[in-house]
Amino acid sequence: MSLTTGRGPLSARPAGRFSVPLPTPLGYVEPFQRRVRGRSGGQTVVDSERVLLVHAPGQPPTYAFPAEDVQATVASEPEPAVAGHLRVPWEAVDEWWEEEERMLGHPRNPYHRIDCLRSTRHLRVEVGDVVLVDTSDTVALYESALAPRLYVRREQVDMGLLHPSATKTYCPYKGAASYWSAIVGDVVVEDIAWSYEDPLPESVPISGLLSFDGSRATVEHDLPAPTRVLEDLEDLEPRLDGPTCDSGGQC
């Protein structure tokens, strides 16, 4: 995710820029040193310790397997980025496993990172003229290639206006998300907020906290605007135009 999607360096809208132009579209293939298995009907139909991870622009990572590690009964297609390897669609098997951990959604990206930092950044959320949140007691979640988000404890939210939603989603990096709808007078705003009740280990600091959808409510915060990064890089341009280095890192 962090390389090829969101604002990653190989995405269509990178947050920064390389010091020299790169050909586009540009993918990346690397060894993935984990045992990966696909299971269907209780049987293992893909089993490989020679997996490659393929990062393609605009897509989450995908596995590429040597043909002999994939049973002929499994739907597959040649992987265009790697000769002699097959791509198996995620939905072609019932379950995917890395070692003894089941994977959901898509393969995890080794370059994806989440940092949850205690913060005093201000968050204010309104629906109409009603304030749901107004606090500087927040947790800032910084996630590779995505805009940062603020999470708040429920003590900072007018929970009397929120009601659990039936919507559920899954993030391979944060876990299963539960959603909340707001009822303010006669106005119902579906899925205005979400929380991770039992997040994956790196996201434990946001366990039970809420974040709010800026497209469904008026959300004000003092996080830095994303365009500042590119503006700052333009100021650095003379320093980026230095001597090139060889493959050994010597300039």
Task: Give the CATH number for residue 55.
Answer: 2.170.150.40
Domain check: are 94 and 137 in the same one? no
Residue 4's pLDDT is: 85
Closest residue by Cα to residue 150 from 130, 170, 136: 136
Closest residue by Cα to residue 116 from 139, 97, 92: 139
Domain check: are 211 and 135 in the same one? yes
Indicate the SS3 state at residue 218.
Answer: strand
Residue 8's pLDDT is: 84
Residue 226's pLDDT is: 62
Angle value at C-alpha 15, between 114 and 233, nearest 5 degrees: 120
Q: How far is CA 209 from CA 1, 173, 174, in A?
A: 24, 16, 12
Q: Provide, for the chain, the percentages of residues in helix, strand and coil under a 3-state DSSP scheme, each rounded to the nearest 5.
A: 10, 40, 45
Residue 10's pLDDT is: 85
Cis preceding-peptide flag for 57 (omega within 30 of 0): no
The DSSP bridge partners found for residue 112 are none
Token match 């080794």: residue? Answer: 110
Q: What is the mean pLDDT for each group of 10 consecutive residues in the chain (251 residues)?
A: 78 84 88 96 96 92 96 95 95 96 91 94 95 97 89 97 96 94 95 97 96 96 69 41 32 27
Query: Which of these three, 51, 68, 103, is where a domain ends?
Result: 103
Domain check: are 55 and 148 in the same one? no
Residue 227's pLDDT is: 52
Domain check: are 130 and 87 in the same one? no
- Domain that includes residue 86, residue range: 28-103
Domain check: are 72 and 125 in the same one? no
Token match 């310790």: residue? Answer: 49
The answer to the question of residue 122 being in a domain is yes
The answer to the question of residue 233 being in a domain is no
Domain check: are 133 and 75 in the same one? no
Query: Which of these three, 67, 82, 103, is where a domain ends?
Result: 103
Cβ neighbors of 233 (< 8 A, separation 6 or more) are 16, 17, 240
Burial annotation 30-59 (CB, 10 A radius, 16+ → b, else e): eebebebbbbeeeeebbebeebbbbbbbee
Domain check: are 81 and 179 in the same one? no
**CA–CA separation, 41 and 231 (whole Å):** 53
The answer to the question of residue 7 being in a domain is no
The answer to the question of residue 209 being in a domain is yes
Domain check: are 125 and 190 in the same one? yes
The DSSP bridge partners found for residue 30 are 53
Both tokens of 94, joined, read: 């019932």
Query: Which of these three, 103, 131, 150, is where a domain ends?
Result: 103
The answer to the question of residue 5 being in a domain is no
What is the 3-class SS of 36-60, one letter each residue?
EEEEECCEEEEEECCEEEEECCCCC
| Residue 106 buriedness (CB in 10 A; 0-12 / 13-18 / 19+) | middle
Going by the DSSP 8-state scheme, the letter that residue 157 receives in this structure is B
Dihedral angle at the C-alpha atoms of 201, 202, 205, 206, nearest 10 degrees? -90
Total number of domains constituting the chain: 2
Domain check: are 119 and 222 in the same one? yes
Domain check: are 98 and 186 in the same one? no
Q: How far is CA 234 from CA 126, 181, 243, in A?
A: 36, 42, 18
The answer to the question of residue 1 being in a domain is no
Domain check: are 99 and 129 in the same one? no
Domain check: are 138 and 191 in the same one? yes
Indicate the SS3 state at residue 161.
Answer: helix
